[in-house]
Amino acid sequence: MTVYNTLSVVVGCSGTVTLKIVDQSDDQSRRKHLVESLEAKPGLAAFQRPTSARNHRGFGFVEFAPLTIFSNPRYVRDDQLIIHAVAREAALSPRATHD
């Protein structure tokens, strides 16, 4: 049985995208999650509806985390890497809320 997650993508979106690779160490007080955020820029081609099978105009993290984390038991436990992703829409401007 195949399970699909529902994913909605807003074209021309603006806001903040945050990715976190979760440190799965037993001692919660010593955990060091790997976190990066970026601001979406609706005017860039990378945030517009794709016009081909592959969007060649990328935008994002050049290096989010080193590949060595895949062999580090802090981040990979029981063959599982946990990535927490949050997308927050930019606040509407006061003018936009009146239209």
Boundaries of domain holding 52:
15-89
Based on the structure, what is the number of domains in the chain?
A: 1
- Residue 6 in any domain: the answer is no
> What's the confidence (pLDDT) of residue 9?
52
Q: What is the mean pLDDT of residues 38-47?
A: 77
Q: How confident is the model at residue 93 (pLDDT cuts 50, 70, 90)?
A: very low
Q: How confident is the model at residue 98 (pLDDT cuts 50, 70, 90)?
A: very low
- Residue 31 in any domain: the answer is yes
List the structure tokens of 92: 């509407």
> For 1-6, which contacts have Cβ atoms below 8 Å and span 24 or more sequence positions?
none
**Ranges 6-10, 12-16, 85-89: which has the least confidence:** 6-10
Q: What is the mean pLDDT of residues 30-58?
A: 79
Judge if pTM exceeds 0.75: no
89 phi/psi in degrees, rounded to 5: -70, 145
CATH of the domain at 70: 2.60.210.10
State the amino acid at position 17 in one-letter form: V
Residue 78, SS3 per DSSP: coil
Q: What is the mean pLDDT of residues 50-55?
A: 73
